[in-house]
Amino acid sequence: MTAEGSLEFKRVDPATLTDLLQLARLHQAAFRAIGQAGWTQKSLAESCSMDGSLLIGAFSDSRPVGFAVFRCVLDEAELITLAVDPEHQGKSIASKLLKWSDAQLMQQDISSVFLEVRTDNAPAIRLYETVGFQSRSVRKGYYKVAGGSRVDAVIYSRVLS
Ligand SMILES: CC(C)(COP(=O)(O)OP(=O)(O)OC[C@H]1O[C@@H](n2cnc3c(N)ncnc32)[C@H](O)[C@@H]1OP(=O)(O)O)[C@@H](O)C(=O)NCCC(=O)NCCS
C-alpha cells in the first residue's frame, strides 16, 4: 500500500472487498461520461475472479476514486479496464495508478502490458501515450457502437522497466 498525499493505492482482493458495488458505480459514471456503458457489479466481480486477475484501486480519504483491472498470463499483463471517477479526473490519478501498478506487476515477473482502446477515446489514448504505451496495431471495426456503426480498436503495449 502506498499513499501519495491523501491519495492511496492498493491491491484489492475482490473476494474480501465489500464494496464492489461502489466500484461498479464509479465505472459506470466514468464510461457514461464518454457515452459508453460501464460494468455492472456482477461483470466486475466476474472479471476480477478470473485466473490472473489483479485489481488495483486508488483511494482518496479511503474512498475509491479510480481502479484498474489487469489480467496476467505468464510474463504479460492485459489492462482489462481503467476508470477514474469523473469528479476526480484531470488530477493525474490514472497516470499515478498505472505507475504504481507497474511496480506491482514487475514484482510478479510481468515484463510487458498491453491494452485495447477505441480510436474515438481521445483522453484515454493521450493518457496511454503519456505514460509510454506505443500503438502496435489496429483492429478495424472491432467495436460495435449504438446505431450499428463500428469503431476501430488500437492495440497499445509497453515494456515494463
Ligand atoms: C481515461 C481516464 C482513466 C483518465 O483518468 P485521469 O485520472 O483523468 O487521467 P490523468 O489525470 O492521469 O491524465 C493523464 C494524461 O492523460 C491525458 N488526458 C487525461 N484526460 C484527458 C482529457 N479529458 N482530455 C485530454 N487528455 C486527457 C493527458 O495527456 C493527461 O496528462 P496531462 O494532465 O499532463 O495533460 C479517465 O478519463 C476515465 O476514467 N475515462 C473513462 C473510462 C476510460 O476511457 N477508460 C479507459 C478505457 S480503455
Active site residues: 116, 128
Mean pLDDT score across all residues of the chain:
94
| Of the options 3.80.10.10, 3.40.50.300, 3.40.309.10, 3.40.630.30, the CATH number for the domain spanning 2-159 | 3.40.630.30
Q: Is 130 in the pocket of ligand 1 (CB under 6 A)?
A: yes
Query: Which grid cell is 43?
Result: 461483470
Q: How far is the CA of 68 from the centre of ligand 1 (A)?
A: 13
What gap in Å lies between CA 121 and CA 35, rounded to an integer? 10
Q: Where are the domains of the chain?
A: 2-159
**pLDDT 10s digits, 115-146:** 999 999 999 999 999 999 999 999 999 998 88
Which pTM was predicted?
Answer: 0.94
Exposure string for 67-83, b = 16+ CB within 10 A, e = fewer: bbbbbbeeeebbbbbbb
Atom of ligand 1 nearest to the CA of 124: 1
- Note the pLDDT of residue 14: 81
The grid coordinates listed for 128 are: 496511454
pLDDT in tens, 49-100: 999 999 999 999 989 999 999 999 999 999 999 999 999 999 999 999 999 9
